[in-house]
Each structure stands twice: as structure tokens, then as C-alpha cells.
Amino acid sequence: MPKLIHVNTLPACDTCDGVARYDVKSKQGPWGYFCDPCFKVRGIGLGTGLGQELIAGAPYPNAKPVIKPTTKREIQYTLEDLHAMIDESVLDSTPCPHCHCTQRVEPDACDYTCHECGNGTVSSPLVAAGLI
């Protein structure tokens, strides 16, 4: 699992009024959202099985509609975006045609059921582009 995850907005810290920058396992066991100070006190680290740093904003801000995914909605990615995706172990999917949400998927994901609405399907942008 990557150490950095892109989210639309940063959530609130689970232990104080701060803005969370981490989604991590705590020293006490449960996972939670933590701000910088709370992460230093309660978090156990970053990486697979430990947690991720949260970054607000789209992972591919230069994306423009170019790829026609398996849905009727068109999405576009620049060549640089696609090149960057090739080295990632988890990607943001193409949007669901019903609720327009994305989810984190493996690079070879094809027609996964949308976790948000359960009605549509999402795929990896690399699959949608015909690269995999």
C-alpha cells in the first residue's frame, strides 16, 4: 500500500480539533485519522499495515478528458499522468457512471462494483486506456 493517499478533503483528527494528515494504526490498536501532533504521539508509522499520509486534492491535476472508459462518461489523462500511474501499486479508478465517485483500485482492475452506490462499475485508468 502506498504511503501517500489523495483525498478530496482532509478529515478531522479523531483525537482533537485539528485537521488530520494521517490515516494510521494507533499504538493502542485501532486505526484513526490523526493530525501531525497526535500522529507523533499515537501513530505507529507509515506503509503497508501501518498507515498513509493524506494529501488533499486530485492525484492527477492535469487530467483532461481523452480516454473513453468502460462507462459512457469520458475521462482524459495526459501522457505524463498515465506514465506516473504505471509505477503505482494502487490508483484512483475511473468515475462510477451512476454516482461519479472513484475508489482506490489495482492497476489491472476492470469493472469492479462501485463501493459507494453498488450500481455502477469502475476500472483502472490504465485498463480504460487500453494499456493493460
How do residues 64-102 score in pLDDT, each as one tens digit?
544 444 444 455 677 777 777 777 778 888 888 888 888
19, 47: one domain: yes
29, 81: one domain: no
| Total domains, the chain | 2
pTM of full prediction above 0.75 = no
User: What is the structure's pLDDT at 71?
Assistant: 44
Q: Which residues of the chain have pLDDT under 70?
A: 1-2, 58-76
B/e letters for 54-82, b = 16+ CB within 10 Å, e = fewer, are: beeeebbeebeeebebebeeebebeeebb
63, 46: one domain: no
23, 86: one domain: no
User: What is the structure's pLDDT at 18?
Assistant: 93
63, 99: one domain: yes
10, 33: one domain: yes
Range of the domain at 68: 59-132
